[in-house]
Amino acid sequence: MAFERISFKWAPTAVAERAAGSLISRYGDRAAEDADVIVALGGDGFMLSMLHQHLHKGIPIYGMNKGTIGFLMNEFQEEDLYDRINAATLAQIHPLRMVAEPESGGAQEALAINEVSLLRQTRQAAKLRISIDDRVRMEELICDGLLLSTPAGSTAYNLSAHGPILPLRAGVLALTPISAFRPRRWRGALLPKEAKVTFDVRELYKRPVSAVADTFEVRHVKRVTVSEAKDVTMRLLFDAEHSLEERILNEQFVP
């Protein structure tokens, strides 16, 4: 399809607002529900918020960097925007679905584009049991926390925690510990993207744990289940010479 009707969204910063004003004067602006594509101006955090806001609308998002790192963004330039968008490469990504059960009862669900993280809430290290497809794989992990990351999110928190960078087409998720104490030398695992991963919190009153899906947090959890949300598809557009797949591959060769 041809992308002709653009809806501009921008981060709440002066630099992003100025860029949006200049682009709108040149290309016009549509409401998101009446647009073919959303152009997001900001950094990676703003792109994540846009993806979450428009997850169920199926509208593609083309980001231009007016933030800091901009891993999920294209280079900002005002000229030839229609040509750039229509020549862009489409990346389709399924987020993770987190179902977190707090000790008070019930369950809360959220979607994660980057990662689901379990984090200790106090000075006490967390104790976690890890099950994959209902089979216990690690009876007890003592750690500061644990991440289950998508390929798209593998260069974010996961990489900072010394987890592996995952190519988009690898079909795997990265399970990465944060400051593992026991087993001391455990560095994590690669899991099939179809896996259902369950984390049970041991000694949950003595060692409380929170669960976070990107920015959505549930505190004092007793069990967290994570699986791929196959019914939800995100559509991101990248300049052909700097596709998301290419960026992830490049990250593996940065000295």
Give the amino acid at 220. Answer: H
Task: Tell me the β-bridge partners of 92.
Answer: 235
Give the amino acid at 76. Answer: F
The active-site residue, picked from 29, 34, 36, 44, is: 44
Backbone phi, then psi, for 226, in 5-degree steps? -130, 135
Cβ atoms of 101 and 223 within 8 Å: the answer is: yes
Tell me how long the chain is. 255
DSSP codes of every residue in 137-185: EEEEEEESEEEEE-TTTTTTHHHHTTPPP--GGG-EEEEEEES--BSTT
Cβ atoms of 15 and 68 within 8 Å: the answer is: no
Cβ atoms of 206 and 124 within 8 Å: the answer is: yes
Query: In the annotation, is 29 catalytic?
Result: no
CA separation for the pair 140, 22 (Å, rounded): 55
Q: Report the catalytic residues.
A: 44
